[in-house]
Structure 1
Amino acid sequence: MTVVDAVPASGMLEFFESGFRHSAWRLETRRSYTADEATEEYQQFLRGIDPPRDVDGPWFVNARERTAQGVRIERVRLVDEPPSDGQRYLLATTPDNLAAGEDIRFLTRTRAQGLELPDFDFWLFDSSILARFNWTNAERRLEMDTDPAAIAAACRARDLAWQHAVPYAEFTG
Protein backbone atom coordinates (compact mmCIF):
# COMPACT_ATOMS: atom_id res chain seq x y z
CA MET A 1 0.00 0.00 0.00
CA THR A 2 1.32 3.39 -0.99
CA VAL A 3 -0.30 5.95 1.29
CA VAL A 4 0.03 9.39 -0.26
CA ASP A 5 -2.14 11.35 2.13
CA ALA A 6 -4.61 10.96 4.97
CA VAL A 7 -7.81 12.77 5.85
CA PRO A 8 -8.73 13.08 9.53
CA ALA A 9 -12.25 12.23 10.64
CA SER A 10 -12.78 15.94 11.34
CA GLY A 11 -11.90 16.79 7.71
CA MET A 12 -14.00 14.24 5.86
CA LEU A 13 -16.88 16.57 5.02
CA GLU A 14 -14.46 19.18 3.71
CA PHE A 15 -12.79 16.54 1.53
CA PHE A 16 -16.19 15.52 0.14
CA GLU A 17 -16.88 19.13 -0.76
CA SER A 18 -13.86 19.44 -3.06
CA GLY A 19 -11.49 16.46 -2.90
CA PHE A 20 -12.72 14.71 -6.05
CA ARG A 21 -14.29 15.75 -9.33
CA HIS A 22 -16.54 13.07 -10.81
CA SER A 23 -17.39 10.14 -8.57
CA ALA A 24 -17.20 8.73 -5.09
CA TRP A 25 -17.97 5.05 -4.65
CA ARG A 26 -17.98 3.19 -1.33
CA LEU A 27 -18.01 -0.43 -0.25
CA GLU A 28 -19.48 -0.83 3.24
CA THR A 29 -18.58 -4.17 4.78
CA ARG A 30 -19.00 -3.68 8.52
CA ARG A 31 -21.86 -4.97 10.62
CA SER A 32 -21.92 -1.78 12.69
CA TYR A 33 -20.28 1.62 12.96
CA THR A 34 -19.19 3.09 16.28
CA ALA A 35 -20.14 6.62 15.15
CA ASP A 36 -23.75 5.46 14.73
CA GLU A 37 -23.83 3.42 17.92
CA ALA A 38 -22.67 6.41 19.97
CA THR A 39 -25.72 8.50 19.08
CA GLU A 40 -28.94 8.85 21.04
CA GLU A 41 -30.80 8.37 17.75
CA TYR A 42 -29.29 4.88 17.38
CA GLN A 43 -30.15 4.00 20.99
CA GLN A 44 -33.73 5.09 20.37
CA PHE A 45 -33.79 3.02 17.17
CA LEU A 46 -32.85 -0.05 19.22
CA ARG A 47 -35.86 0.75 21.43
CA GLY A 48 -38.14 0.72 18.38
CA ILE A 49 -38.26 4.44 17.53
CA ASP A 50 -37.74 5.24 13.85
CA PRO A 51 -34.89 7.67 13.13
CA PRO A 52 -36.10 11.18 12.31
CA ARG A 53 -35.55 12.40 8.77
CA ASP A 54 -32.29 14.33 8.43
CA VAL A 55 -32.22 15.90 5.00
CA ASP A 56 -30.64 19.15 6.21
CA GLY A 57 -27.58 17.73 7.94
CA PRO A 58 -24.17 18.77 6.55
CA TRP A 59 -23.56 15.44 4.76
CA PHE A 60 -26.92 15.57 2.99
CA VAL A 61 -26.63 19.24 2.00
CA ASN A 62 -23.20 18.58 0.50
CA ALA A 63 -24.37 15.40 -1.28
CA ARG A 64 -27.32 17.30 -2.80
CA GLU A 65 -25.03 20.08 -4.00
CA ARG A 66 -22.42 17.71 -5.46
CA THR A 67 -24.94 15.43 -7.19
CA ALA A 68 -26.76 18.48 -8.60
CA GLN A 69 -23.39 19.37 -10.20
CA GLY A 70 -23.31 15.91 -11.84
CA VAL A 71 -21.02 14.16 -9.34
CA ARG A 72 -21.96 10.53 -8.67
CA ILE A 73 -21.99 9.34 -5.06
CA GLU A 74 -22.65 5.61 -4.88
CA ARG A 75 -22.35 2.84 -2.32
CA VAL A 76 -22.82 -0.87 -1.96
CA ARG A 77 -23.70 -2.02 1.53
CA LEU A 78 -23.18 -5.63 2.53
CA VAL A 79 -26.01 -6.97 4.66
CA ASP A 80 -26.13 -10.12 6.77
CA GLU A 81 -29.13 -12.43 6.84
CA PRO A 82 -30.71 -11.46 9.15
CA PRO A 83 -29.32 -7.90 9.26
CA SER A 84 -27.37 -6.82 12.33
CA ASP A 85 -28.77 -3.94 14.40
CA GLY A 86 -26.26 -1.61 12.74
CA GLN A 87 -27.33 -2.73 9.28
CA ARG A 88 -31.01 -2.34 10.17
CA TYR A 89 -30.23 1.22 11.30
CA LEU A 90 -28.50 1.99 8.00
CA LEU A 91 -31.47 0.57 6.11
CA ALA A 92 -33.78 2.82 8.14
CA THR A 93 -31.70 5.93 7.38
CA THR A 94 -31.01 5.19 3.70
CA PRO A 95 -33.98 7.26 2.42
CA ASP A 96 -32.18 10.42 3.57
CA ASN A 97 -29.11 9.48 1.53
CA LEU A 98 -31.26 8.70 -1.50
CA ALA A 99 -33.11 12.01 -1.16
CA ALA A 100 -29.73 13.76 -1.21
CA GLY A 101 -28.90 12.15 -4.56
CA GLU A 102 -26.79 9.19 -3.50
CA ASP A 103 -27.33 5.83 -5.19
CA ILE A 104 -27.05 3.08 -2.59
CA ARG A 105 -27.33 -0.59 -3.48
CA PHE A 106 -27.44 -3.65 -1.24
CA LEU A 107 -25.81 -7.04 -1.44
CA THR A 108 -26.13 -9.93 0.96
CA ARG A 109 -22.89 -10.94 2.61
CA THR A 110 -23.41 -14.53 1.40
CA ARG A 111 -23.59 -13.38 -2.21
CA ALA A 112 -20.63 -11.05 -1.70
CA GLN A 113 -18.45 -13.89 -0.42
CA GLY A 114 -18.87 -15.65 -3.74
CA LEU A 115 -17.56 -12.52 -5.47
CA GLU A 116 -14.37 -12.41 -3.38
CA LEU A 117 -14.82 -8.75 -2.48
CA PRO A 118 -12.46 -7.09 -0.01
CA ASP A 119 -13.38 -7.46 3.65
CA PHE A 120 -12.71 -3.79 4.42
CA ASP A 121 -14.55 -0.52 3.84
CA PHE A 122 -13.19 1.91 1.30
CA TRP A 123 -14.05 4.86 -0.90
CA LEU A 124 -12.89 5.00 -4.52
CA PHE A 125 -12.67 8.57 -5.84
CA ASP A 126 -12.66 9.29 -9.58
CA SER A 127 -11.42 5.72 -10.17
CA SER A 128 -7.96 7.00 -9.27
CA ILE A 129 -7.73 7.32 -5.48
CA LEU A 130 -8.43 4.48 -3.07
CA ALA A 131 -9.27 5.68 0.44
CA ARG A 132 -9.12 2.93 3.05
CA PHE A 133 -10.68 3.53 6.43
CA ASN A 134 -8.43 3.59 9.45
CA TRP A 135 -10.84 2.88 12.31
CA THR A 136 -8.19 3.11 15.03
CA ASN A 137 -6.74 6.54 14.26
CA ALA A 138 -9.21 9.42 13.76
CA GLU A 139 -6.35 11.65 12.54
CA ARG A 140 -5.82 9.23 9.64
CA ARG A 141 -9.46 8.20 9.08
CA LEU A 142 -9.12 7.95 5.28
CA GLU A 143 -5.73 6.79 4.06
CA MET A 144 -5.33 7.66 0.38
CA ASP A 145 -3.59 5.25 -1.96
CA THR A 146 -2.79 5.82 -5.64
CA ASP A 147 -0.92 2.58 -6.33
CA PRO A 148 -2.11 1.36 -9.76
CA ALA A 149 -2.54 -2.25 -8.58
CA ALA A 150 -4.61 -1.16 -5.58
CA ILE A 151 -6.75 1.10 -7.79
CA ALA A 152 -7.32 -1.72 -10.30
CA ALA A 153 -8.38 -4.10 -7.50
CA ALA A 154 -10.77 -1.48 -6.09
CA CYS A 155 -12.26 -0.83 -9.54
CA ARG A 156 -12.76 -4.58 -10.01
CA ALA A 157 -14.46 -4.84 -6.60
CA ARG A 158 -16.68 -1.85 -7.44
CA ASP A 159 -17.74 -3.32 -10.77
CA LEU A 160 -18.48 -6.76 -9.31
CA ALA A 161 -20.36 -5.42 -6.30
CA TRP A 162 -22.39 -2.95 -8.36
CA GLN A 163 -23.34 -5.62 -10.90
CA HIS A 164 -24.74 -7.92 -8.20
CA ALA A 165 -26.21 -5.38 -5.76
CA VAL A 166 -29.82 -4.25 -5.90
CA PRO A 167 -31.41 -0.82 -5.31
CA TYR A 168 -32.92 0.01 -1.92
CA ALA A 169 -36.56 -0.32 -3.08
CA GLU A 170 -35.92 -3.79 -4.46
CA PHE A 171 -33.90 -4.89 -1.42
CA THR A 172 -36.53 -3.72 1.07
CA GLY A 173 -39.57 -4.54 -1.09
Structure 2
Amino acid sequence: MPDLVPFDDIAHLFEHFEHTAWRLETQSGYASDRSGAKWQRWKAGENIGRYEPEQPWHAGVRAQTDAGKRFERVRLVDDPPSEGQRFLLASGLGNVEAGEDIRNMYRSDAQRIGLPDYDFWLFDSQIVVRFVFGDDGATLGVHVAEDAETVVRACQVRDAAWHYATPTTEFQQRVRPTV
Protein backbone atom coordinates (compact mmCIF):
# COMPACT_ATOMS: atom_id res chain seq x y z
CA MET A 1 0.00 0.00 0.00
CA PRO A 2 1.35 3.47 -0.86
CA ASP A 3 2.36 5.86 1.90
CA LEU A 4 -0.33 7.70 3.84
CA VAL A 5 -0.43 11.37 2.83
CA PRO A 6 -2.51 14.28 4.13
CA PHE A 7 -5.75 14.87 2.23
CA ASP A 8 -4.62 18.43 1.50
CA ASP A 9 -1.78 16.98 -0.62
CA ILE A 10 -4.32 15.74 -3.20
CA ALA A 11 -6.73 18.71 -3.11
CA HIS A 12 -5.35 19.96 -6.43
CA LEU A 13 -6.88 16.92 -8.16
CA PHE A 14 -10.36 18.43 -7.73
CA GLU A 15 -9.38 21.29 -10.03
CA HIS A 16 -6.96 19.58 -12.40
CA PHE A 17 -8.76 16.40 -13.43
CA GLU A 18 -9.59 16.14 -17.14
CA HIS A 19 -13.05 14.58 -17.30
CA THR A 20 -14.35 12.69 -14.25
CA ALA A 21 -14.05 12.76 -10.47
CA TRP A 22 -15.97 9.81 -8.99
CA ARG A 23 -16.36 8.81 -5.34
CA LEU A 24 -17.60 5.84 -3.34
CA GLU A 25 -18.76 6.83 0.17
CA THR A 26 -19.14 3.95 2.60
CA GLN A 27 -19.04 5.45 6.09
CA SER A 28 -22.10 5.83 8.30
CA GLY A 29 -20.90 9.32 9.23
CA TYR A 30 -17.97 11.69 8.88
CA ALA A 31 -16.26 13.75 11.59
CA SER A 32 -15.77 16.58 9.09
CA ASP A 33 -19.57 16.84 8.74
CA ARG A 34 -20.22 16.73 12.48
CA SER A 35 -17.70 19.50 13.14
CA GLY A 36 -19.09 21.86 10.50
CA ALA A 37 -21.54 24.75 10.77
CA LYS A 38 -23.87 23.05 8.29
CA TRP A 39 -24.32 20.15 10.73
CA GLN A 40 -25.45 22.57 13.44
CA ARG A 41 -27.87 24.25 11.02
CA TRP A 42 -29.28 20.84 10.08
CA LYS A 43 -29.63 19.81 13.75
CA ALA A 44 -31.55 23.07 14.30
CA GLY A 45 -34.01 22.05 11.58
CA GLU A 46 -32.77 24.30 8.77
CA ASN A 47 -33.10 23.17 5.16
CA ILE A 48 -29.49 22.57 4.10
CA GLY A 49 -30.31 21.08 0.70
CA ARG A 50 -29.87 24.25 -1.34
CA TYR A 51 -27.15 25.29 -3.71
CA GLU A 52 -24.91 27.88 -2.04
CA PRO A 53 -22.68 29.49 -4.70
CA GLU A 54 -20.39 31.01 -2.05
CA GLN A 55 -19.75 27.61 -0.46
CA PRO A 56 -16.31 26.37 -1.69
CA TRP A 57 -17.39 22.82 -2.61
CA HIS A 58 -20.44 24.04 -4.53
CA ALA A 59 -18.41 26.73 -6.31
CA GLY A 60 -15.73 24.21 -7.31
CA VAL A 61 -18.23 21.65 -8.58
CA ARG A 62 -20.09 24.30 -10.55
CA ALA A 63 -16.87 25.60 -12.13
CA GLN A 64 -15.75 22.11 -13.15
CA THR A 65 -19.14 20.97 -14.46
CA ASP A 66 -19.57 24.24 -16.38
CA ALA A 67 -16.26 23.33 -18.05
CA GLY A 68 -17.80 20.01 -19.16
CA LYS A 69 -16.30 17.79 -16.46
CA ARG A 70 -18.29 15.34 -14.32
CA PHE A 71 -18.48 15.02 -10.54
CA GLU A 72 -20.22 11.79 -9.51
CA ARG A 73 -20.55 9.75 -6.36
CA VAL A 74 -22.35 6.78 -4.90
CA ARG A 75 -23.22 6.83 -1.22
CA LEU A 76 -23.94 3.66 0.72
CA VAL A 77 -26.86 4.02 3.12
CA ASP A 78 -27.85 1.80 6.02
CA ASP A 79 -31.48 0.77 6.53
CA PRO A 80 -32.54 2.74 8.46
CA PRO A 81 -30.05 5.54 7.65
CA SER A 82 -27.64 6.62 10.39
CA GLU A 83 -27.69 10.21 11.62
CA GLY A 84 -24.67 11.02 9.43
CA GLN A 85 -26.36 9.50 6.39
CA ARG A 86 -29.56 11.46 7.06
CA PHE A 87 -27.41 14.60 7.09
CA LEU A 88 -25.81 13.65 3.75
CA LEU A 89 -29.21 12.91 2.22
CA ALA A 90 -30.49 16.28 3.43
CA SER A 91 -27.48 18.21 2.14
CA GLY A 92 -27.03 16.24 -1.07
CA LEU A 93 -29.58 18.18 -3.09
CA GLY A 94 -27.41 21.30 -2.86
CA ASN A 95 -24.49 19.35 -4.31
CA VAL A 96 -26.76 18.02 -7.07
CA GLU A 97 -27.92 21.54 -7.88
CA ALA A 98 -24.26 22.61 -8.03
CA GLY A 99 -23.76 20.00 -10.75
CA GLU A 100 -22.73 16.81 -8.95
CA ASP A 101 -24.52 13.57 -9.84
CA ILE A 102 -25.03 11.78 -6.51
CA ARG A 103 -26.61 8.36 -6.32
CA ASN A 104 -27.35 6.15 -3.36
CA MET A 105 -27.72 2.48 -2.62
CA TYR A 106 -28.43 0.46 0.47
CA ARG A 107 -25.39 -1.08 2.12
CA SER A 108 -26.95 -4.55 1.91
CA ASP A 109 -27.18 -4.20 -1.89
CA ALA A 110 -23.57 -3.01 -2.04
CA GLN A 111 -22.46 -6.04 -0.04
CA ARG A 112 -24.51 -8.34 -2.27
CA ILE A 113 -22.70 -7.11 -5.40
CA GLY A 114 -19.28 -7.11 -3.73
CA LEU A 115 -18.51 -3.42 -3.32
CA PRO A 116 -15.65 -2.60 -0.94
CA ASP A 117 -16.17 -1.12 2.52
CA TYR A 118 -13.74 1.78 2.03
CA ASP A 119 -14.08 5.28 0.59
CA PHE A 120 -12.17 6.42 -2.44
CA TRP A 121 -12.04 9.00 -5.21
CA LEU A 122 -11.25 7.91 -8.78
CA PHE A 123 -9.92 10.68 -11.01
CA ASP A 124 -10.03 10.24 -14.80
CA SER A 125 -9.97 6.45 -14.43
CA GLN A 126 -6.25 6.83 -13.65
CA ILE A 127 -5.72 7.91 -10.03
CA VAL A 128 -7.26 6.27 -6.95
CA VAL A 129 -7.31 8.17 -3.67
CA ARG A 130 -8.31 5.81 -0.84
CA PHE A 131 -9.28 7.30 2.53
CA VAL A 132 -8.12 6.12 5.94
CA PHE A 133 -10.41 7.06 8.83
CA GLY A 134 -9.97 6.99 12.59
CA ASP A 135 -12.51 5.37 14.90
CA ASP A 136 -14.24 8.74 15.27
CA GLY A 137 -14.73 9.13 11.50
CA ALA A 138 -11.94 11.69 11.11
CA THR A 139 -9.82 11.47 7.96
CA LEU A 140 -6.31 10.40 8.96
CA GLY A 141 -4.98 10.67 5.42
CA VAL A 142 -5.18 9.03 2.03
CA HIS A 143 -3.29 6.50 -0.07
CA VAL A 144 -2.74 7.52 -3.70
CA ALA A 145 -2.37 4.76 -6.28
CA GLU A 146 -1.91 4.74 -10.04
CA ASP A 147 -0.97 1.10 -10.58
CA ALA A 148 -3.06 -0.82 -13.11
CA GLU A 149 -4.48 -3.38 -10.67
CA THR A 150 -5.80 -0.76 -8.21
CA VAL A 151 -7.16 1.48 -10.96
CA VAL A 152 -8.90 -1.34 -12.83
CA ARG A 153 -10.52 -2.56 -9.59
CA ALA A 154 -11.72 0.98 -8.80
CA CYS A 155 -13.19 1.28 -12.31
CA GLN A 156 -15.01 -2.03 -11.85
CA VAL A 157 -16.40 -0.85 -8.51
CA ARG A 158 -17.50 2.43 -10.08
CA ASP A 159 -19.27 0.68 -12.94
CA ALA A 160 -21.10 -1.77 -10.68
CA ALA A 161 -22.07 0.85 -8.11
CA TRP A 162 -23.28 3.28 -10.77
CA HIS A 163 -25.38 0.59 -12.42
CA TYR A 164 -27.24 -0.32 -9.22
CA ALA A 165 -27.40 3.05 -7.46
CA THR A 166 -30.46 5.32 -7.44
CA PRO A 167 -30.35 9.09 -8.12
CA THR A 168 -30.53 11.14 -4.93
CA THR A 169 -33.94 12.74 -5.54
CA GLU A 170 -35.54 9.35 -6.22
CA PHE A 171 -33.76 7.68 -3.31
CA GLN A 172 -34.82 10.43 -0.91
CA GLN A 173 -38.47 9.80 -1.77
CA ARG A 174 -38.03 6.22 -0.62
CA VAL A 175 -36.50 7.15 2.73
CA ARG A 176 -38.17 10.53 3.35
CA PRO A 177 -39.90 9.52 6.61
CA THR A 178 -36.47 9.07 8.26
CA VAL A 179 -34.64 11.99 6.59
Alignment TM-score, normalising by the size of structure 1:
0.88
Which position in structure 1 is the counterpart of 2:154? 154
Q: Which amino acid aligns with 2:133?
A: W
The whole-number CA distance in structure 1 between the counterparts of 2:165 and 2:86 is: 17
> In the aligned structure 1, how far is the partner of 2:49 from the partner of 2:127?
34
Of 120, 123, 138, the residue aligned with 1:122 is 120
AA matched with 2:169: A
Which position in structure 2 is the counterpart of 1:164?
Answer: 164
Residues 150, 66 of structure 1: alpha-carbon distance in 2 compared, 3 angstrom cutoff: same
How many correspondences in the alignment? 169
Let me know the Cα RMSD of the aligned residues: 2.1
Structure 2 gap segments, 5+ residues each: 174-179
Change (3 A) 1:91 1:52: closer
TM superposition shift of 1:44 = 4.1
Unaligned runs of 5+ in 1: none
Taking the TM superposition and a 5 Å limit, the aligned residue runs for 1:11-160 are 11=9, 13-18=11-16, 20-51=17-48, 53=50, 54-136=52-134, 141-160=141-160
1:46 touches 1:85 (CA, 8 Å); kept in 2? no
State whether residues 78 and 109 of structure 1, in contact with CA within 8 Å, keep that contact through their aligned partners in structure 2: yes
Q: Distance in 1 between matches of 2:67 and 2:37?
A: 33
Q: Shift of residue 51 of structure 1?
A: 2.7
**Once the two structures are superposed, what CA deviation does each residue of 1:77-109 show, in whole Å capped at 9, x if it has no partner?**
000111000000001111111111110000001
Residue 13 of structure 1 and its aligned partner are, at CA, apart by 4.3
| Paired-residue identity, % | 43
CA contact (8 A) 1:13 1:59 kept: no
